[in-house]
Amino acid sequence: MSNRMTRSLSVIVTLIGLIALWQLLCFVLDIPKYLLPTPTDILQRIVVDWAMLVRHSGVTLVEIFAGFGLSVIIGIPFAIVVVYSKYFSQAFFPILIGLQCIPMVSLAPLLIVWFGFGMLSKVLIAFLISFFPILVNTIAGLKSMEKDMFMLSQSLRANAMQVFLYFRLPKALPSIFAGFKVGITLAVVGAVVAEFVSSERGLGYLQLIASSQLDVTLQFCVIVALAVIGLGLYNLVSLIERISIPWYKASRGGE
């Protein structure tokens, strides 16, 4: 707890220092607000337009959670199949790696043509971008079981399901949560990119409107909202990780 408080305090102090430097440079260099607004200008705009920001943030959050949830529901079972099935490991996994080489952002216009301008296309783009890190980290975690641990399970006469539940899965959980952390941040990117392509709601749509009106202050407000959402979701996954596998943090000395 003391280490976490110290780390949090260091982050807060550094952030305050950077914001103060930003404010000072804008004042000393006399930078026009239409080029770079000051932190106080951004804060004032957030206070004025907080209801609009919250409304559009809610839409983006729904897309993020739906896309991320879909990647978890599909990615983890598929990773288990790849680990336990030699055919899937040799036939399908290389194909997935090849598909991952395609920039998923480039598929956004195609998905919108197929599934329309509604919520579904945005969720699918968020899913496609966040799916692969979860899949790869889960596979790596499930394959990380040491030979000694496998021999121990055999000596205890554990069946295949018991080996998975009591040995392989606990060993894989740190890698799985690492995939979750990457996936949830990429889901934010996917949702915003989808809103850039076509949307009438969401923070990506609000960013486009602000850009078309040359409203730089509102653009920074959207960036702040996205940063808060990304950091909040990342820390939420980290909290769930600490609750789910406290033994892992303890074994690493609370890093």
Residue 254 has pLDDT above 50, yes or no: no
Residue 112 has pLDDT above 60, yes or no: yes
168 and 159 in contact (C-beta within 8 Å)?
Answer: no
Q: What pLDDT does 168 receive?
A: 83
Q: What pLDDT does 147 receive?
A: 74
Dihedral sign, CA of 100, 103, 104, 110?
A: negative
Residues whose CB is less than 8 angstroms from the CB of residue 236 and which lie 6 or more positions away in sequence, other chains included: 184
| CATH code, residues 34-251 | 1.10.3720.10
Distance of CA 150 to the CA centre of its chain: 33
pLDDT bin (cut points 50, 70, 90) of residue 252 is low
The residue among 199, 176, 219 whose CA lies nearest residue 123 is 199
The tokens describing 127, both together, are: 């899913």
Q: What pLDDT does 162 receive?
A: 80
Residue 64 has pLDDT above 90, yes or no: yes
**Range of weakest confidence among 62-66, 103-107, 126-130, 136-140:** 103-107
Write the pLDDT tens digit of every residue in 134-156: 998 998 888 887 777 777 777 77
User: What does DSSP assign to residue 104?
Assistant: G
The single residue listed with the structure tokens 């220092």 is 17
Residues whose CB is less than 8 angstroms from the CB of residue 41 and which lie 6 or more positions away in sequence, other chains included: 33, 217
The residue among 9, 10, 11, 37 whose CA lies nearest residue 22 is 37
